[in-house]
Structure 1
């Protein structure tokens, strides 16, 4: 931390604006001014820590080492991207040549050039895969038992390789130039039909424009991120206030309901009692109407005569029942022997009836 920053810390540590500046020095901490006010010793600790750590929480020595490691990483990353970009560009050139060869006639020297370049790339890839020097496993077995020297024997003829190396910068430059012109036409479609010299002049401004667009995109991305964080905080605040309002509304509803619930229940009870009484009276009225419609004076007199006749028949039946019960009681006195005689008598009567029926049927068919 610089001397000016230390002086600023000492100056505001004694004033009333301590809390906002402490929060500004530790933006990643989820703290509020109220937290610092309730914990003054913790606030002093944070002020002391500002002399040893930066705003992200890293110590000054660790931050220096991290910056050196980041610079080394960026340098290696640039080298890797440069070689990877060159490799992808050469593959694109080979693919475009294959497509062009299918649709048009290509000079023999170009065929030899691209075939030689393709073989060189394949051999270089295979050698790189077989070379264990870049691997953490030094004793890694070779693929199919092949050695890098055996793959190098598949290289094209030396004279073809030399010709390819001599022509490669020119072809690569031409390919990259075409890609740049295509990118220019993408940014400015109106320049597609312009002359090549004019397009080359405009290419000098394309890098600035791409860089500007990139910075605008990053700025928009950062603003979107800030807006997202702000929206999340506002949404959280809105939800907390909404929950408070809902709780207050629930309290008001419950209080109001408890006050009027008894009176409301009493009114409902009186209403249902009155309604039930009205329904009962209506049912009784309907029953009386049905009886009046059903039982006329003539019907009542007929029912009386029927009742008298049924009563007399019932009386006769009861007398017969009593007589039968007396006879049955007298028969039961005779015991089991009489029961056997009664069963034999019943069987004989049944046989007599069956024979009479058969005789009747026989006589009927004989007459026919």
Structure 2
């Protein structure tokens, strides 16, 4: 990490994605073989006998490695033995979720119209426990329940953000919580006017309304509690939309050419200026906002002060996520990996 010198090399024809867990690296090859590799010395721990061609996601769950390639294959984490396999005719195109003894996947079914189905499987046996039509991948899995956002279809609109709390074992709807932060009058609005993507972070739930982000206490009745609203309407740009957060007491909004932060403490606005080109991507690391422009220039700013701290010319225009490992910032561009020491002022103490 400090010098960029190659430590070891393993295999051929290996493909992304890669997964690292507890000193072991997991990877699949073009032929579908799955490997476990000792991350310290590059030696093979095991190779699977059962193939998983075209893997798009690797995830661990306790003593199991799950490979998503449209189907779900589950291997023993210690020996690579195939434990079970799930096949759905239309395949799992979204990332699967493995949590609390459940494996959850979503696929789409087309007929007179297209709709999504959320599937739940037992993580040990692979047995399907239940499926729920018109439900999204879970916003949360906790206390034996699956919290899933209800989806609208061509024949059944969902006008307001609606979260169903499903029994994890049966899929039965135990409770429905409906959010209406904009006080939408359904008689005056079109279908789905108040249905916003929702997710949990910490002990709060967030709703993304594009140019606004709403937040509620996770377990409170939304009709009986005070919500928080974050926006940058005061700066006069109507095309700014939610981009990231909450992170380091900031909510971030962008229109790809400008980037603004809203403080979660007092709702005031912070402008991250000095950009000369559009934003290709940005990453939040420590107290740092690492912005890569379309011209390949990386600018690292302090999230709280908006002061630029360091710049780097990558020479590329296709970028992977910037990472922080052992005090080094790793920057990925097409065909190249670069690294520099994480500035002290941007480290999270």
TM-score of the aligned structures, taking structure 2 as reference length: 0.17
Larger radius of gyration: 1
Bigger RCO of structures 1 and 2 (CA < 8 A, at least 6 apart): 1
Bigger proportion of residues as helix: 1
Bigger proportion of residues as strand: 2
